[in-house]
């Protein structure tokens, strides 16, 4: 009997799960690889089994959808149609004459190499948060909005007692509501978008009443918890205080790089006061200053207010994970992977679905995953697919893409955010490059693009390879945020690279 064609799906979030189930239901062998210990991605992130959560559904909406996906995946795994490889951190996909080879690092230490051969690959690698810097953003207690949500969903823990949720984007609503429900005092939700931005997109937004009702539900929950909603506002600065101290300090109180001795990447929250050489003092977040924005996105003078807090959850939207797609040579469109009506990239044998093609939310990711899985199944069996089999998913995709485009316009970061960044504010945390260094590279050395700024300042040369700092550097430099084609999607031990073609095939399963 001829062996079924083999599809490797990378990413077990909504898009990856939907694609896996659709492909397996149409007689493909599927290997589903994901870096997490459980399927679900960030949207369906589950608490560890050892925590014995009694009501994990309390942290989620669309729980029944998750249960259907989970149960269907389990059934396909038991039937032998799907192999689910957990704790597999994919760092490269090679294209060869006989198909593809997916290279991954196994386990939490990410040192044991594994290779998975496949006839085709479906990329469902999701997205990650964009955070724009501001004075004090490196203080302990400042974290991304998605990080606060992941901590709550995955560990049932919170990072403090009093929080401010700030930035822009629809993610802020569920984050603030989740923290408030967990017992955190949410002092304010600071959203830079104003009412006019919503009014300009009324038609596109009203076309999705279910999404509007979801947002209204979050707003009602925040009202019950007496959370202040500060629309058309932004965080100007985060202030720190010594552990055990009582006086908040801003960038002149030891937080800025000019007032501390660097201890290495990632230690920007540690300072060494000049009054006590050699004594390390930890400054923790104690308060934030917020201010109102005018119609052009500039801070309105005289509107600053200080809000005490020990946690600041901040985010300015999402970016697509495109590293694997770029290394395969897939064309991008905007910041996401370009796909056709079947979710095919321009590289034969490679499909993409979900946030990697553009940020649009879980419902859109599910629709794209279903289409991609069905298309891959048909193509690998040697015939053209019938688009009528995914007509409902295609209609959903069209509607939600239009809705997502409207949200992108509504939740654009303030146009003049870079004006608030002081020269001593660290922009690239890995290499501790300041905003002043970036401005000097542009104004005095003539840098006009991200690559040249990187060469002059080392911004983007650290552990994250520019994934975190690139939007900020581009904004400060006044240049376009261009893709940075990285050959590896994550750091890889040199020993793994030296023996790249002698690795065993994937062996783990859920």
**Alpha-helix residue ranges (DSSP H) falling in 42-189:** 63-79, 145-155, 172-181
Helix/strand/coil (H/E/C) assignment for every residue in 112-123: EEEEEEECEEEE
With beta carbons less than 8 A apart as the criterion, state whether 208 and 400 touch. Answer: yes
DSSP-assigned letters across all residues of 339-377: --TTSB-SSTTEEE-GGGG----HHHHHHHHHHHHHHHH
- Residues with Cβ within 8 Å of 164's Cβ and at least 6 positions away in sequence, in order, are 186, 187, 188, 189, 190, 235, 288, 290, 307, 309, 311, 312, 313
Residue with tokens 């004006």: 419
Helix/strand/coil (H/E/C) assignment for every residue in 300-333: CCCCCEEEECCEEEEEECEEECCHHHHHHCCCEE
503: DSSP letter: P
Token pair of 401 as six digits: 């893409």
Token pair of 72 as six digits: 């269907």
Which of 44-53, 266-275, 316-325, 345-354 bottoms out in mean pLDDT, i.e. has the lowest?
266-275
Residue 218: count other Cβ atoms within 10 Å of its Cβ: 19
299: DSSP letter: B
Which of 45-54, 116-125, 161-170, 449-458 bottoms out in mean pLDDT, i.e. has the lowest?
45-54
97, 109, 93: which is closest to 33 by C-alpha?
93
pLDDT band at residue 191 under the 50/70/90 scheme: very high
Encode pLDDT of 45-67 as tens digits.
888 777 777 777 777 778 889 99
CA angle 431–433–438, rounded 5-degree value: 140
Helix/strand/coil (H/E/C) assignment for every residue in 435-490: HHHHHHHHHCCCCCCHHHHHHHHCCCCCCCCCCCCHHHHHHHHCCCCCCCCCCCCC
Residue 487, pLDDT above cutoff 70 = yes
Q: For 349-375, what is the mean pLDDT?
A: 97
Q: What pLDDT sits at residue 155?
A: 87
Residue 279, pLDDT above cutoff 80 = no
Q: What pLDDT sits at residue 501?
A: 64
Three-state DSSP class for residue 415: coil
CA atoms within 13 A on the CB side of 173: 19
Q: What pLDDT sits at residue 440?
A: 96
Long-range contacts of 213-217 (CB under 8 A, 24+ apart): 214/61, 215/170, 215/173
Query: What is the reported pTM?
Result: 0.88
Encode pLDDT of 411-448 as tens digits.
999 999 999 999 999 999 999 999 999 999 999 999 99
Residue 111, pLDDT above cutoff 60 = yes
Residue 270, pLDDT above cutoff 90 = no
Q: What pLDDT sits at residue 489?
A: 87
Longest Cα–Cα distance of the chain, Å, equals 79
pLDDT band at residue 311 under the 50/70/90 scheme: very high
pLDDT band at residue 280 under the 50/70/90 scheme: low
Residue 510, pLDDT above cutoff 70 = no
Tell me the helix, strand and coil percentages in the chain, rounded to 5: 35, 25, 40
How do 433-434 and 426-428 pair as beta strands? antiparallel
135: DSSP letter: T
Token pair of 431 as six digits: 């290499």
Residue 41, pLDDT above cutoff 70 = yes
């Amino acid at each position: 009997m001829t062996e079924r064609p083999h599809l490797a799906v990378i990413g077990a979030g909504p898009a990856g799960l939907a694609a896996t189930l659709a492909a397996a239901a149409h007689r493909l062998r599927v290997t589903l690889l994901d870096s997490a210990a459980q399927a679900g991605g960030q949207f369906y992130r589950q608490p560890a089994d050892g925590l014995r959560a009694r009501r994990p559904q309390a942290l989620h909406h669309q729980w029944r959808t998750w249960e259907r996906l989970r149960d269907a995946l389990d059934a396909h795994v038991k039937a032998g149609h799907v192999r689910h490889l957990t704790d597999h951190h994919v760092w490269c996909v090679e294209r060869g004459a006989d198909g593809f080879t997916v290279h991954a690092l196994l386990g939490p230490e990410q040192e044991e190499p594994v290779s998975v051969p496949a006839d085709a690959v479906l990329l469902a690698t999701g997205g990650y948060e964009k955070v724009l810097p501001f004075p004090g953003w490196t203080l302990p207690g400042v974290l991304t909005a998605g990080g606060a949500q992941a901590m709550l969903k995955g560990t049932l823990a919170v990072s403090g007692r009093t929080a401010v949720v700030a930035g822009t984007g629809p993610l802020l609503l569920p984050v603030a509501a989740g923290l408030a429900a967990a017992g955190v005092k949410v002092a304010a939700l600071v959203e830079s978008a104003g009412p006019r931005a919503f009014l300009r997109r009324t038609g596109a937004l009203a076309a999705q009443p279910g999404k509007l009702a979801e947002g209204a539900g979050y707003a009602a929950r925040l009202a019950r918890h007496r959370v202040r909603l500060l629309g058309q506002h932004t965080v100007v600065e985060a202030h720190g205080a010594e552990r055990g101290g009582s006086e908040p300090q801003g960038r002149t109180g030891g937080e800025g790089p000019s007032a501390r001795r660097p201890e290495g990447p990632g230690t920007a929250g540690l300072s060494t006061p000049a009054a006590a050489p050699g004594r390390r003092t930890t400054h923790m977040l104690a308060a934030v200053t917020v201010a109102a924005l005018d119609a052009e996105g500039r801070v309105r003078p005289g509107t600053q207010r200080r809000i005490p807090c020990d946690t600041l959850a901040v985010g300015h939207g999402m970016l697509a994970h495109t590293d694997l797609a770029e290394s395969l040579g897939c064309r991008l469109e905007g910041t996401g992977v370009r796909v056709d009506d079947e979710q095919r990239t321009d590289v034969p044998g490679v499909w993409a679905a979900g946030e990697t093609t553009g940020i649009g939310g879980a419902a859109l990711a599910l629709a794209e995953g279903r289409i991609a899985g069905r298309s891959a199944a048909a193509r690998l069996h040697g015939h053209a697919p019938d688009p009528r089999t995914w007509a409902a998913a295609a209609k959903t995709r069209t509607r939600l893409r239009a809705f997502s485009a409207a949200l992108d316009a509504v939740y654009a970061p303030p146009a003049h955010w870079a004006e608030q960044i002081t020269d001593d504010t660290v922009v690239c945390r890995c290499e501790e490059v300041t905003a002043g260094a970036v401005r000097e590279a542009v104004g005095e050395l003539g840098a006009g693009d991200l690559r040249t700024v990187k060469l002059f300042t080392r911004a983007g040369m650290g552990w994250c390879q520019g994934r975190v700092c690139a939007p900020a550097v581009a904004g400060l430099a006044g240049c376009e945020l261009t893709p940075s084609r990285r050959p590896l999607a994550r750091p890889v031990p040199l020993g793994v690279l030296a023996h790249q073609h002698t690795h065993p095939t994937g062996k783990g399963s859920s």
